[in-house]
Amino acid sequence: MINNYLELYKVQKLPIYQNRMYDSENEARACPKGDVCLVENLETGLVYNTAFCPELMVYDAHYQNEQAVSSLFLEHLKSVAKIVGRSMGLDGLVEVGCGKGYFLEMLLSQGFDIIGFDPAYEGTNARIERCYFKPGMGIKAANIILRHVLEHIQDPVNFLMHLREANGGSGLIYIEVPCFNWICSHRAYFDVFYEHVNYFRLADFYRIFGRVIEAGRLFGGQYLYIVADLTSLKIPQYDMQHPVNFPEDFLHCFEELRRTEHITIWGGASKGVILALLKEYAGTPVKTVIDINPAKQGKFLPATGLKVQSPAEALQNFPLGGIIYIMNSNYREEIKEMTGNIFNLMCIDHE
């Protein structure tokens, strides 16, 4: 225990952006890096990285985290749209941190009235501002959508308070973030990133908000969501009955892969970046990285400098029955169908 913290996990020299793609191997290897020291705060009960430096983080057009190229992920977004519609209605919505705008445009196509804010936006939709949503903008939403943003913010409760202020002190908010309980139960070491400063449990949000409309898990349990009343926002207090249950054998699954050489992985996003880097540190680097996202193909992963290949390029000479390690088991059936079921697909995130 350190002061009011309980140290959970440490890892060094991770790329500060695991979704930042590079144009050359040298540039990718020279990317800025930072350390992770996950702690449980014994006053608030929240889990975060005490080694995080927010001044390093500047999101721009080089940041590529769009997952909507997958039909499976599209189904996930459709389920989110249904939750938003039934809990918050169709009118007067603001999406904070809308990324490339895909989800926002999906909602527009379904009749939602919505505008978005994101400094990394690359498109031409006039409903999306290339800036942050903050107090003084003169825009008040009926309700706010915050998908996969809060895990990137150093002081999440203070950030939510600023959103409440920017929105005139009221409104509902839909929040979606990775589920820390899933990360712990699956020993998902590949889901701990420098870029993610916070790691949330559903119980955390019940301590952050006094009024919760609905909550649950999504995307095979990997994400959690909550719809809550911004007026009920409060400072969370540590709950001795529900401490973080962090596994002592968190790296057990990696030990199984540590000695395996020349593997091929499917998934050039966050999970693949971390696995590839830990494999390089172990002296058994990954050989091939496959991803279906055209924005990643031909680019290089941060830290390792591995080139991302399309399925067609990577598999043209791949042996029948050869092993492909899938970084996210949610996509196993999609990959199986895409590859004609002629390879041995192994899921990294088995329980």
What is the reported pLDDT for 116? 95
What is the reported pLDDT for 19? 82
Cβ-Cβ contacts under 8 Å for 45 (sequence gap 6 or more): 203, 204, 207, 236, 237, 238, 239, 242, 243, 244
Phi first, then psi: give them for residue 249, nearest 5 degrees.
Answer: -100, 45
* Domain ranges (residues) in the chain: 5-56, 71-232, 252-347
Sign of CA dihedral 217, 222, 226, 232: positive
Architecture of the domain defined by 71-232: 3-Layer(aba) Sandwich (3.40)
Whether 1 has a pLDDT exceeding 50, the answer reads no
Full DSSP string of 29-94: HT--EEEEEEEEETTT--EEETT--GGG----TTB----TTSHHHHHHHHHHHHHHHHHH-SSSEE
| Alpha-helix residue ranges (DSSP H) falling in the chain | 25-29, 71-88, 102-109, 156-166, 180-185, 202-208, 252-258, 270-281, 311-315, 332-338
Tell me, what amino acid is at 43?
E
d(CA 160, CA 175): 10
Indicate yes or no: pTM above 0.85. yes
Query: What are the residues facing 266 on neighbouring strands?
Result: 290, 326
CB 32 within 8 A of CB 63: no
- pLDDT tens digits, one per residue of 147-178: 999 999 999 999 999 999 989 999 999 999 99
What is the reported pLDDT for 71? 83
How would residue 59 be classed by pLDDT, with cut points 50, 70 and 90? Answer: low
User: Would you tell me the crossing angle of helices 71-88 and 102-109 to the nearest 10 degrees?
Assistant: 60
User: Pick from 281, 182, 269: which is nearest to 225 by CA?
Assistant: 182
Cβ-Cβ contacts under 8 Å for 27 (sequence gap 6 or more): 300
Q: What is the mean pLDDT of residues 260-269?
A: 93
What is the reported pLDDT for 209? 98
What's the token pair of residue 255?
């030990």
d(CA 274, CA 293): 18
Strands 5-15 and 33-41: antiparallel
What is the reported pLDDT for 135? 76
What is the reported pLDDT for 191? 96
What is the reported pLDDT for 256? 81
What is the reported pLDDT for 34? 95
252-347: what CATH class?
alpha beta
Percentage of the chain with pLDDT > 70?
A: 95
CB 46 within 8 A of CB 204: yes
* Same topology between domain 71-232 and domain 252-347: yes
What's the token pair of residue 183?
């990360």
Cβ-Cβ contacts under 8 Å for 126 (sequence gap 6 or more): none
Distance of CA 132 to the CA centre of its chain: 19
Cβ-Cβ contacts under 8 Å for 173 (sequence gap 6 or more): 143, 144, 145, 146, 160, 163, 227, 228, 230
Whether 64 has a pLDDT exceeding 80, the answer reads no
Whether 245 has a pLDDT exceeding 80, the answer reads yes
- pLDDT tens digits, one per residue of 182-199: 999 999 999 999 999 999
